[in-house]
Each structure stands twice: as C-alpha cells, then as structure tokens.
Amino acid sequence: MKINIKKILYILTLFLITVNSVAQKTVRYDLHIRDTLVTFSGKGKRAIAVNGQIPMPTLTFTEGDVAEIHVYNHLKEGTSLHWHGLYLPNPEDGVPYLTQMPIAPETEHVYRFPIVQSGTHWYHSHSGMQEQIGMYGSLILKKRADDPTFRTGIDDIPQIPIILSEWTDYNPKNVHRMLHNASDWFAIKKGTTQSYAEAIRDGHFKTKLTNEWKRMLAMDVSDVYYDAFLLNGKKESQLSQFKKGDKVRLRIANGGASSYFWLQYAGGKITVVA
C-alpha cells in the first residue's frame, strides 16, 4: 500500500488548526474613549475616561484565551493602547508610528492577540501624555485551572485589582516642560527646597554650588508635586464585602507617572505570592 505522506501531513495540520481554534476562547471588550472633567483636587480639570470611568476598565483573561479589544476613539486627537509586559505579536503592541498608526478621531481599531501567560499587568495609552490624565487600567491574566502550577488557596481566592496613580492639576505637557527647565516650583510646593543658608549651616555649600551649576534639584527622586494620590481612581476605597478571617489576593500595579508607593497592612504582614 502506497502512503501519501504529504496528504497525511496536510490533514493533520488542518486537524490541529481546527482543534486549536475550537479550544481557544475569544474574549471581547469594547472601549470607548472620551474627554471628561474630574475634580480630584476640588477644581474641574480635563481628563480622559474610557467607558465613562477612570481608571480604564479592568480587562480579565485566562491563559489560552484570545483577546479581542475594540477601541473607539471619540477624542479630537489620536490615541493608542499599549499592553504593558505582555508577550504578543509586534503589530499589536500599541506604539504609534512604530507598530501601528495612531487611532484617528472617530475611528475604530481592533487589537487581537493570544494570551500566552498569566500574571498581574496593566495597560495604558502610548500617545502623548494621555496616560497621566486617565488612560491607564488593570490587566489581569489568570491561570488555567488545569495548570500544573495552579495553587489552591492562592489562585482560587477572591482577587481585587488595585492600580495606584497620582493626579496633578497641571497640564502634563507643562509638567514635562518644567522638569526640563529644572524649575524649583514643585520643590517649593513640596517644601523640599534647600537655601544657601541651610547648605552653609550643614557644611554643604560647595555641594550646593555644584548642584546649582548642574541644575540638579535638591529632591532628585519624585520631583513632581501632585494634588492627589489615587487608588483605583479614588482617594480612598472600602472593601466591605470582606470580614475578619477572609483571605483576599490583591493584584497591585503602579500606574503612576513618577511616584513610588510603599504599601502597609494594619493587620500584619502582607504575603507576596507573585
């Protein structure tokens, strides 16, 4: 009997493609991007909301899914979305003029890519400084239940996404300009300026002169003064659904533009599981 190897390989390839397409679950999200006003500091300021909220909606997938995200741009400017830390095809990476053109005003763009990992991530605009006025959100990739690394008591308990951020009433472009100019204004607002008298008193007059010549501010980390710090887009948040003795997994991402956050738990130690 003559065996047609090419035909067998062809049939096997078609079978594998069919099985794979059936096994993969497509999870779709529709994201509508619009201008809005916020009052995080008590003053009305322009921001960008997605589906009417800041931060953007939490996108949840399971490893093995196919992500399909439809983005509708209702702004008067171009936009984009970058999936921070994800392994995906380069055309889906969301970097304008590099992997895609900006999503033009009043147009739709579809991102589609397989989810090949698990973990806590976030996503944000990669256009201009839109991220700093609301375009950031949590991206949760769950493990499959049949994953050999699935951990009972960790991967199967209630999970709360938390995205930390900050807010300034200044236009982010002005913040960028002031940082380039080495302005002392933010240091004055934060009370971290250093006078020549203080430098002389502490024996650092020469250092002060050197730093002035280099245009280096006294505060060399977190140079920007912020009007508010936010947790899931709010100044405070209550999780009233939990009671004493419950276990909860917090999936935390820092979506801030320049802030470092230190977390504490009043009930004891926080156990880091990932």
Q: pTM of the full predicted structure? A: 0.82
Neighbours of 58 (CB within 10 A): 17
DSSP 272: P
Asked whether residue 52 is domain-assigned, the answer is: yes
Residue 221 is assigned to a structural domain of this protein? no
Residue 101 shares a structural domain with residue 137 = yes
Q: Which residue has the higher pLDDT, 145 or 267?
A: 145
Q: What is the pLDDT of residues 107-142, one digit of tens each?
A: 999 999 999 999 999 999 999 999 999 999 999 999
User: DSSP label at 6?
Assistant: H
DSSP one-letter code for 25: P
Strands 228-231 and 82-84 come out as: unpaired
Whether residue 140 sits in one domain with residue 179: no
Structural domains counted in the chain: 2
What CA–CA distance (Å, rounded) separates 215 from 180?
A: 10
The DSSP element (H or E) to which 48 belongs, if any, is strand 45-50
End position of a domain, from candidates 130, 145, 160: 145
71 or 274: which leads in pLDDT: 71
CB 24 within 8 A of CB 113: no
Taking CA atoms, 88 is separated from 82, 113, 119, 125, in Å, by 11, 6, 14, 17
Which domain does 205 fall in, by range? 172-214
Query: Which pLDDT tens digit goes with each residue over 185-221?
Result: 888 888 877 788 888 998 989 988 888 888 776 666 6
Domain co-membership, 138 together with 178: no
The closest alpha carbon to 263, from 167, 192, 162, 190, belongs to: 162
Please state the rounded mean pLDDT for residues 24-32. 95
Q: Is 171 helix (H, G, I), strand (E, B) or coil?
A: coil
Where does 4-103 have alpha helices with state H?
5-23
Claim to verify: residue 177 and residue 141 sit in the same structural domain? no
Residue in the block written with tokens 């236009």: 171
Q: Span 55-59, mean pLDDT?
A: 97
Q: Determine how β-strand 136-142 pairs with β-strand 107-114.
A: unpaired
Give yes or no for a contact between 105 and 158, defined as CB atoms under 8 angstroms apart: no
Q: How far apart are CA 123 and CA 175, in angstroms?
A: 22
> What's the token pair of residue 90?
């380069």
* Residue 193 and residue 122 share a domain: no
Q: Rounded to whole angstroms, how far apart are CA atoms 229 and 165?
A: 6
